[in-house]
């Protein structure tokens, strides 16, 4: 199905001509952003504590708001690991994809973070934001195409655990990035891939993002509209990075003119 003939419904709060909705997952559809932040913190704090003990430097823990938002949110796992370490002046070799958890390489630390994340969602489950589910169902009823775009390789498992996988026609995730050699956010390539898969021009697609890197990707891809989702009090930053509108919950858009 192409992008012609489908227009945004006033009741969805989207511009006329909108034909598709492209959703980030963590923090937009599911309450997993806090789980990711907790997993990053557990992994980085263990690494930083050992490093501080070895070189006598003070231990400065990972901040689940400032560090998460600035350096890892929305990025592929290896990029997030590398970017945060770089902010602390730490350089590590990339290592190999199969490096064991905790090895002092980018991939080793990333593997440790992923194992912690999977443990946390196994123990605590995954919840979808009710307002987001209402919005996606309304978009489906209005005839808009729907895709999820996430840098996480666990995206499919998260959607299934939250019970919302059937609401989307296309999934572009961390596995897709690796297989198709797509650069992650803030590059627009993953969102552009989702629009292509749906047969919709970027100008007729709406991006929904809570990550600063994600709204940058939406702006860089010349998408028709970028909705920032503010769960942690960063409305101004989301606007500055490219969001056309910022809401605290997608349900706020329902019934909007």
Write down the domain spans for the chain. Answer: 10-32+126-253, 33-124
* Element of type H or E holding 106: helix 106-124
What backbone torsions phi and psi does residue 255 show, to the nearest 5 degrees?
85, 0
pLDDT in tens, 233-253: 999 999 999 999 999 999 999
Assign 106 a pLDDT band (cuts: 50, 70, 90): very high
* CA 175 – CA 157 distance, rounded (Å): 12
Told to judge if 63 belongs to the known catalytic residues of this protein, a careful annotator would answer no
pTM of the model: 0.79
Q: Which two tokens stand for residue 154?
A: 């666990």
CA angle 205, 27, 128 (to 5 degrees): 95
Told to judge if 55 belongs to the known catalytic residues of this protein, a careful annotator would answer no
Whether residue 113 is predicted with pLDDT greater than 60 in this model: the reply is yes
CATH 3.40.50.1000 fits 10-32+126-253, yes or no: yes
Peptide bond preceding 216 in cis form (omega within 30 of 0): no
Q: Which of 3, 26, 69, 173 is catalytic?
A: 26
């Amino acid at each position: 199905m192409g992008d012609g003939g489908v227009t945004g419904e006033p009741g969805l709060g989207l511009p006329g001509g909108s034909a598709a909705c492209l959703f980030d997952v963590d923090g937009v559809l599911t309450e997993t952003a806090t789980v990711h932040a907790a997993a990053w913190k557990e992994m980085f704090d263990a690494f930083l504590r050992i490093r501080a003990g070895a070189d006598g430097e003070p231990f400065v823990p990972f901040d689940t708001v400032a560090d998460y938002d600035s350096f890892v949110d929305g990025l592929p796992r290896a990029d997030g690991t590398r970017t945060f370490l770089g902010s602390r002046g730490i350089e590590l070799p990339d290592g190999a994809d199969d490096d064991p958890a905790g090895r002092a390489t980018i991939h080793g630390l990333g593997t440790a973070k992923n194992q912690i994340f999977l443990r946390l969602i196994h123990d605590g489950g995954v919840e979808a934001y009710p307002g987001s589910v209402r919005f996606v169902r309304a978009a489906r009823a209005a005839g808009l195409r729907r895709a999820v775009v996430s840098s996480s390789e666990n995206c499919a498992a998260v959607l299934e655990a939250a019970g919302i996988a059937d609401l989307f026609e296309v999934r572009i995730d961390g596995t897709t990035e690796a297989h198709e050699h797509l650069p992650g956010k803030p590059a627009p390539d993953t969102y552009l891939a989702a629009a292509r898969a749906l047969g919709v021009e970027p100008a007729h697609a709406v991006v929904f993002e809570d990550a600063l890197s994600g709204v940058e990707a939406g702006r860089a891809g010349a998408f028709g509209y970028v909705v920032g989702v503010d769960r942690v009090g960063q409305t101004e930053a989301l606007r500055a990075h490219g969001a056309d509108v910022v809401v605290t919950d997608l349900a706020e858009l329902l019934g909007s003119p």
